[in-house]
Amino acid sequence: MPFSATELSIPGVMLIATRAFEDARGAFMETYRANEFARLGIGARFVQDNLAASVARGTFRGLHFQRPPHTQAKLVRVTRGAIYDVAVDLRVGSASYGRAVGVRLRANAEQLFVPGGCAHGYCTLEPNTEVTYKCDAYYAAEAEGGVNFADPALGIAWPVDPRAAIVSDKDRALPLLKDLVSPFALELS
């Protein structure tokens, strides 16, 4: 099977391993197949692909989410370089509410699935890093939200010092978790 998944410490956040086929020419891999992802328990119907290119190591993006009814699940993959990728559970009623989980992703290796109701962000670990991600809802500026990446209450062990981060003014101004009224509730299936 070309894909396998490991659920991390936040329910629904999954590290997806992708099988690569290598030979003298290089490598080939499938990065997404709806039927295989459904087998893994991921039924998201992706409608938008994004690419973010970061020039410098230590570039921070996030922690972002979209409010209902524009909530997004994301499938994140690095196509060049490496990142430390983070999801934060913002689903009120979840046993892991406010918990952050982070993984290192490198080019063309694992992917991270981040379900709706979680904030998502990352920092680059190498210069000239490119990240692509699929979303299951379209971008909606009026629904943007986020949590401050440097909030000590999240306990994120960033591998790059947040005080030296290359970050947008918009992301630096995001609220702390304690000041956020979460728009998400835990959905029980």
Active site residues: 64, 133
Cα 96 from Cα 94, distance rounded (Å):
5
Q: Residues 12, 15, 19, 22: is their CA dihedral positive or negative?
A: positive
Contact 94, 160 (CB under 8 A): no
Angle at 106 between CA 77 and CA 109, to 5 degrees: 65
Distances from the Cα of 146 to the Cα of 33, 40, 73, 173, angstroms: 29, 28, 14, 9
> Closest by alpha carbon to 11, among 174, 188, 138, 148?
188
- For 46, what's the count of Cα atoms within 13 Å in the CB-facing half-sphere? 20
In degrees and rounded to multiples of 5, residue 76 shows phi and psi of -105, 135
